[in-house]
Amino acid sequence: MKKFWCLFFMFWPIIGLIACAISPSMNWGFPYGLPAGSPLGERIDGLYYMILALVLIVFTGTQIGLGYVLWRGSEETDERAWYTHGSHSLEVIWSIVPAGILLFIALYQMDVWAEYRIQDNKNFPNQLETTVAEVTARQFEWRIRYPAPDRKFATRADLVTWLRNPQSDDLYSVNDIRVPAGKKVTIHLRTEDVQHSFFVPVLRIKQDAVPGKVIPVWFEATRADQYELLCAELCGWGHYKMKARVWAQSQEEYDAYLKQLQHDQFDDGVSSAENDED
């Protein structure tokens, strides 16, 4: 009977390993089984796989150890058990090894983190050139404010002024963020009410929107495609429906979209008729 329990307890980790082995072909890993849609996303996936490999090694090792102990314990023998409680060397080993692994992860991920979040890092995009919109989360939608297509931010003060004071030529949309594909873009994230979270799974972007703060979020969508944007912070009864899309388009399509938006928003049907007569 002891052997049965030994095999029973070893059966489940083996099932777990088999599930891990087939998971890539079953698309159980990343969202929708899609690879990262941005260069930074690929590096974040690299970190994820590195940690997964470490976990796999540790898990396999400890399960083999556990299996061995269970198997030996299930044997009928006169041999006396070996007690390790209070073993100084074992305590040192299992403190130093995990500490070393954690230190390695902490150092190894610093570059990616710096590129993602540290504003004076050389890879962090210049917000004056890359700002495409301000995104305001609110219960339960995403409101987008674009600067007029010809507006340029020459200085930091220009950008701050624009962020603080909506302008009469700004363009608006809801739940539909357009960006040029293949370029670094920055949006400025804020919230009108409670805390929300700007989450674009395929681009591996997640940033909380915090009341009272305007937070720059940058990303680069490699493929021209539509990406699902979700709220990842339980923000009220309608949290589930706080879905939108980020649509990366070619530069021409993007420019045309903004032109169209401008036309839809400002054309009153009268002034353009006058223009036609000119």
Return residues touching Cu ion (CB under 5 A). Answer: 196, 231, 235, 242
Beta-carbon contacts of 13 under 8 Å, excluding residues fewer than 6 positions away, are: 59, 63
- Of 140 and 153, the one with the shorter C-beta distance to Cu ion is 140
Neighbour count for residue 229 (Cβ, 10 Å): 24
Q: How are beta strands 244-249 and 185-191 bridged, if at all?
A: unpaired
Report how far residue 121's alpha carbon sits from residue 86's, in angstroms, rounded to the nearest whole number: 48
- Of 151 and 243, the one with the shorter C-beta distance to Cu ion is 243
Nearest distance in Å: CB 209, Cu ion? 8
Nearest distance in Å: CB 234, Cu ion? 8
Nearest distance in Å: CB 134, Cu ion? 17
CA 12 to each of CA 4, 7, 82: distance values in angstroms, whole numbers, following the listed order: 13, 9, 26
Q: Which amino acid, one-letter code, is at 97?
A: V
Nearest distance in Å: CB 233, Cu ion? 6
Peptide bond into 140 cis (omega under 30): yes
- Of 223 and 239, the one with the shorter C-beta distance to Cu ion is 239
- Of 242 and 248, the one with the shorter C-beta distance to Cu ion is 242
